[in-house]
Chain A
Amino acid sequence: MQRPGTRRDFIKQAGAGASLLGMGGLLAACGGGGSTSTSTSAATNAATAAKGPIDVGLLNSLSGNLSIVEVPLHNVSLMAIDEINAAGGVNGRQLKAISQDYASDFTQAVQKSDTLINKYDVAITIGGYTSASRVAVIPTFRDNDAIFFYGTYFEGLECDPNVFYSGAVPNQFLIDYVPWILSNLGKTFYIVGSDYVYPRTVSAIVRKLVAQGGGKVVADRYFPLGTTDFGAVISDIGTVKPDVVFSNLVADSVPAFYKQYRSAGFTAAKNPIAATVTTEDEVAAMGAENGAGHYMSATYFQSLPNDNNKKFVEAYQSKYGADAVTFMPLVGTYNAVWLFAKAAAKAPDLSPASLSKALIGATFDENPEGAPITIASDHFCNHPSYIGQANKQGQYDIVKSFESRPADPFPPQVVPAGKRPECPVATVGK
């Protein structure tokens, strides 16, 4: 019965995790000293080497709070590895998963990263989930000159020579969404969001896009994580009467907001909510009657009708249960494993420098999102996006599809020109 419904609860832990960062940096610095023998097999040519397996590090929380989401992420990584091996592996070499459980503890994530790099000498490490987990391990990968592949969508505002990102960043599901809202739902926006970096970044981009499109943001309100009473803001929405409520609320706040919104007399037909983080799981918790008719933008929905997704959902459910749910970070992680395999197949060897070069431009055509996914020179991937409208069964009907769009981790709506770094800021394998 593991559902990703409460996964965004753990975004909350970003704050708690951040305090561990200082310690993480220290540990990484200690580990860095003994890492001179990294990649002993680096010089071996992937195409001509003996048929020994290629070790792939999987860094996930298999225990603790984050395991609710990360066990599925680990499962989908294993599924992708099986698929790759069944298709003949990478130039005849099988992939071998080396799993390390960091137990939802970012200090352990740093230690386990070091273990994967220096003890197992893995070609790449795939995993992590919250932004806090990623930020905690980056110094270790930098100091050891190793590669980390992160599969979850996040706020962006970061790029790193040692990190590749297969999840979406906000511009990819906002740039087409906002103009669509302006021409289909109305011109005045009332923005509500949970109070942390992700909703605030999304909101900053939305405000600029609304202004460019000739609309108006009439209010922009934030709520402490864990807020479940929205009486005050809903009565204000009744006073202001916006055309659209734009929601970046997450986790436990979502069902409470939608329920109270409808019982205050608002209907989806007249006062639609356009959301960015209201997934099928939150719709199930609020009851389909409270979600029906409202909108959501994402780079992936389980209901996407393309053939790649049908195959992906079927494979995942036949392996992990008919009620197993597929969601954005799951697809991102699946794509990460496949993109690695594609890159490894064309790399002259699996040293971080060669692999890093081969990853740029690596393409995976069977992306369940419905468009081929390619890694760009900034280490981010292109993604298509979709607008879904919740139906009476609690699923999203796709009402509009948009072409695949490159990532912009430092969008001009948030980062002033001149302050935008060149991504990635340096190259691996100095």
Chain B
Amino acid sequence: MHTVMNVLAQGLSLGAVYLLSALGLTVIYGVMGVVNLAHGELLMIGSYVVALTAGTLSVPGSIVLAFVGVGALGVLLDAVLIRFLYHRPVESMLATWGLGMVIRQVVILLFGTELRYVALPIASSFAIGFGASLQWWRLVLIVCGITAAVGLGAVIARTTFGMQMRAVIANPGIAESLGVRSAHINRWAFALGCGLAGLAGALVAPLRTVFPNMGVPYLVGAFLVVVLAGLGSVRAAIFWSIAVGIAFAAVAVPVSDTLASIVVWCGALVIIAARRRPVVVARV
């Protein structure tokens, strides 16, 4: 029971990080058909916002700033680059991979390559029964991950913006003829996706390590979830994030992280092969 509790606790906390990183990626693809390979770098910027403002802002303040700030950067990026890549998944992959390299180098030039220090706001843990325990910050990650996902789902399902987003996804031409400015919707959807990446970066910064090349593993994790869940689906993203997190922890807690990676990736391959559904489909 002790091991089971540890697996559940660590699995949920890993799943929350997968979920937080995957949400933005899935929104951006779902709405504008852009596969954003700079997602890890946007997440990294979120971490840097927290690292650089830690002394001056409160912790919630810096997390909000990371969400808003990276979202604002998204508006800019959409204006100069992303809008030329709508519904061209392959070209968007190349362009955003390059964008990611540019962002990394700019951060290196501005702030250097060193590992950055971010204090853990709550550096303790609490008992969860059967001799197992969970660190408070991991609970914060789990709560924020699920809240962000449910909130995003509600925005898409229940707000006017969400309805317009769905209209643009379904048929941009008809949406435009009914008075929805699809360029406008795309821009805000991209900003929202970027903001979610910034939020993820801000939340993981205190627990993990902040440096310019930190983004790629998060991008890879987010892709794993998005590939399993199908791009553009929030509910499936929640399910698969937690499934991957728990599968990983089930091997990593009793045996080893390396073996856990092998098991998770082989499992994912089998699932994808069995499903025979293409993940990235260029829309006509």
Residues of A within 8 A of B (CB): 1-3, 5-6, 9, 68, 195, 221-224, 226-229, 231-233, 235-236, 238-239, 251-256, 259-260, 262-265, 281-282, 284-287, 289-290
Contact = CB atoms under 8 A, between A and B. Distances in A.
Given A233-B252, A235-B10, A259-B120, A224 B209 contact: no
B10 A232 contact: yes
Given A9-B213, A281-B115, A222 B256 contact: yes
A229 B125 contact: no
Contacts of A232: 6, 10, 248-249, 252-253, 257, 260
A240 to B, nearest CB: 11
Given A252-B115, A281-B115, A264 B253 contact: no
Contact of B258 (A3, A224, A262, A286): A224
A281 B117 CA distance: 10
Interface string B121-136: 0111100000111011
Nearest to B260: A232
Interface string B245-264: 00011001110111011000
Contacts of A227: 257
B208 A256 contact: yes
Contacts of B216: 226
A280 B216 CA distance: 26
Most buried by A among B3, B116, B125: B125
Interface residues of B, number: 46
Contacts of B207: 229, 256, 259-260, 263
Contacts of B42: none
Contact of A224 (B119, B137, B138, B261): B261
Contacts of A223: 257-258
B26 to A, nearest CB: 21
A223 B258 CA distance: 6
Contacts of A195: 258
Contacts of A252: 115, 209, 211, 213-214
Given A229-B207, A235-B10, A236-B253, A2 B112 contact: yes
A264 B127 CA distance: 10
B217 interface: yes
Contacts of A255: 115, 117, 209
A264 B134 CA distance: 7
Interface in B192-242: 206-209, 211, 213-214, 216-217
Given A239-B2, A263-B125, 18 more contacts: A1-B112, A3-B112, A5-B114, A5-B115, A68-B113, A229-B207, A232-B260, A235-B9, A235-B132, A235-B253, A239-B6, A251-B115, A252-B115, A252-B209, A264-B125, A265-B133, A284-B114, A285-B115
B14 interface: yes
Interface in B1-43: 2-3, 6, 9-10, 13-14, 17
A345 B42 CA distance: 56
Contacts of A285: 114-117, 209
B55 to A, nearest CB: 13
A1 B253 CA distance: 39
B115 A282 contact: yes
Most buried by A among B6, B10, B115, B124: B115
Contacts of B112: 1-3
22 contacts: A6-B114, A6-B211, A195-B258, A226-B216, A226-B217, A229-B208, A231-B9, A232-B252, A232-B257, A254-B209, A255-B117, A256-B208, A262-B123, A263-B120, A263-B125, A263-B207, A264-B133, A264-B135, A282-B115, A285-B117, A287-B119, A289-B123
Contacts of B248: 232
Contacts of A68: 113
Nearest to B210: A285
A68 B132 CA distance: 42
A1 B114 CA distance: 9
